Amino acid sequence: MAWSTRELAELAGTTVNTIRHCHRLGLIEEPDRRYNGYKKYGVRDLVCLLRIRRLAELGVPLARIAEVGAGGDGTPDALRQVDAHLAAILRDSAPADVPQGFESVASRLSEADSSILHIYTRLYDEDALADLRRMVEADPDDISVAIDTLPPDADEPTRARLAEQLAPTLAKHLADYPWLSDPAARSSQSEQVTQQTFIAAVTELYNKAQLDVLHRASLLAQEQLEGPTGDG
């Protein structure tokens, strides 16, 4: 998946001029270019821009975003200089660029999870994001850690075991939040943009073994929801 500067700006809810300004400040690396000379942005560029946008919304000056986003020594002082909306971040000792509303569960998020939640803030409405936060809170820590640390060359028994462990949690989420089976109903973007962005994000942010476990667990979860079939 690759976006032009205009497409990236629209998806991130910002402007082309803001992206250019971020380039000048060194906050976003210059991307590769297409054969016609136009810039070609990817998922990590989108995540980087959303993190920058989040910090800017909190009131962090652009000149200090690189330091704060990296968790530098001056981060606490910089955060205390902005308004009361930072209270949740300071209270929960969450990263300064954690997606809004997810401060209390920041410690449970891997880098990939945090990145994809940033993207979700541009794809789904507020009710859907609140449901996602509740899902993160309910996910078992041991399974989350096992998947987060799963190497791309994980063997077959490990993948199968993790998928079986994750399936009941996914099944419960699907039962509790039916919109997950039809996410377009909660999307703030077009169905095509939502689907393409989601596929591009998960493909780039998670390794092959993690994607395999998630796919297997999803199939098992669907089977659990459908229950036994046949005449019995």
Q: For residue range 39-81, list pLDDT tens digits in order.
A: 899 999 999 999 888 888 877 777 777 776 655 565 666 666 6
pLDDT digit string, tens, across residues 23-42: 988 888 888 888 777 889 99
Q: What is the CATH number of domain 1-97?
A: 1.10.1660.10
Q: How many CB atoms lie within 10 A of CB 184?
A: 12
The pLDDT, as a whole number, for residue 70 is 57
Domain ranges of the chain: 1-97, 107-232
pLDDT for the residue numbered 96: 79
Which residues does residue 32 pair with via DSSP β-bridges, in sequence order?
Answer: 40
Q: Which residue has the tokens 């297997």?
A: 216
pLDDT band at 185 (very low <50, low <70, confident <90, very high): confident
Q: Mean pLDDT lowest for which of 28-42, 62-76, 132-146, 175-189? A: 62-76
Residues facing 187 on adjacent strands: 124
Return d(Cα 169, Cα 24) in angstroms, integer. 45
46-60, 114-128, 218-232, range with the lowest pLDDT = 218-232
Q: What interhelical angle do 156-176 and 141-148 show, nearest 10?
A: 130
